[in-house]
């Protein structure tokens, strides 16, 4: 099933994002996490793609596992990082052979310590170019793109950021999944800006429960998201007490999700960070995707 078809069903979708583990122990753990979260009947799940394509094989392995063993619709992340046109063709052919029909097409982040993004020779500089390339040569794929409620860190202002979002959709993106945010006003403002610019595709909010101080500092630095001062004060006050931080994170996510669902968002997409516990608690609390 294509993601866009799930989004057209008239009720909010539920989806999760996983990242490929690096060790056999963590692979076993992810298998258990997916098994637990499958009980909430997600409409689809996505698997991230590491810096410089370092997890390509593992990404593709997990989308295949998710489709064949878990019978959940997978979405493969694909990025421009270190990718030539030929390597993109090869990856798409591989996904096609596995029966994968959903791709989240992203520019991707430059390697850590690199000040700016540099495309590979004969590669793509922008996500919209990758999207256009896939759509031209493989129109059968359902393509999603990324949205940035607080604006992409490489774009000087929100107006240009929204214009670029429109260009990604014009290139062939059928839906948008946003980067994480902790103040719903950023998401609602993005949706309003998009509407004013004639964007009508579903914009699915991305939610990340906070589970540790170091983790959330790292993630917000990478994507340019901000943490509300009062929320940050509570987290820092908890110090090294990860259990207390998780409680704060669950409480924050529950409040966010309730407000988003009340506003009739097209779905909720959770950045799981390969942890089932916090997500399960949130979904049970908001009575969303609850096991039937």
Positions marked catalytic: 17
Give the dihedral of Cα atoms 207, 168, 81, 211; nearest 10 deg. 0
User: Contact 193/178 with Cβ under 8 angstroms?
Assistant: no
Going along the chain, which residue ranges are E strands?
Answer: 13-18, 44-47, 74-79, 102-106, 142-147, 175-180, 203-207, 267-271
Q: Which helix (H) or strand (E) holds 133?
A: helix 127-137
CB burial class (10 A; 0-12, 13-18, 19+) of residue 261? middle
Beta bridge partners of 47: 18, 76
| Whole-number Cα distances in Å, 26 to 31, 36, 66, 75 | 9, 15, 16, 21
Kindly state the DSSP code that residue 120 receives in the 8-state scheme: P
Kindly state the DSSP code that residue 82 receives in the 8-state scheme: T
């Amino acid at each position: 099933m294509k993601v866009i078809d799930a989004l057209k069903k008239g009720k909010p979708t539920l989806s999760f994002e996983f990242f490929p583990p690096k060790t056999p122990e963590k692979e076993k753990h992810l298998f258990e996490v997916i098994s637990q979260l499958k009980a909430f009947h997600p409409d689809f799940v996505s698997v991230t793609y590491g810096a410089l394509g370092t997890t390509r094989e593992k990404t593709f392995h997990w989308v295949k596992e998710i489709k064949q063993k878990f019978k959940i619709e997978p979405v493969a992340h694909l990025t421009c990082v270190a990718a030539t046109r030929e390597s993109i063709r090869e990856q798409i052919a591989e996904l096609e052979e596995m029966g994968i029909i959903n791709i989240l097409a992203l520019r991707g982040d430059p390697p850590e310590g690199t000040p700016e993004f540099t495309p590979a020779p004969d590669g793509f500089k922008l996500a919209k170019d990758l999207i256009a390339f896939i759509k031209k040569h493989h129109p059968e794929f359902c393509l999603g793109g990324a949205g940035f409620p607080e604006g992409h860190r490489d774009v000087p202002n929100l107006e240009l950021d929204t214009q670029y979002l429109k260009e990604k959709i014009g290139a062939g993106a059928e839906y948008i999944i946003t980067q994480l945010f902790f103040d719903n006003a950023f998401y609602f403002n993005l949706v309003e800006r998009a509407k004013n610019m004639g964007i009508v595709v579903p914009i699915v909010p991305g939610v990340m429960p906070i589970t540790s101080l170091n983790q959330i500092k790292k993630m917000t630095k990478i994507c340019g998201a901000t943490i509300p001062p009062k929320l940050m004060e509570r987290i820092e006050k908890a110090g090294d007490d990860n259990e207390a931080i998780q409680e704060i994170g669950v409480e924050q996510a529950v409040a966010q999700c309730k407000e988003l669902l009340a506003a009739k968002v097209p779905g909720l997409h959770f950045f799981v960070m390969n942890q089932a516990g916090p997500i399960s608690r949130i979904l049970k609390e908001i009575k969303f995707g609850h096991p039937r």
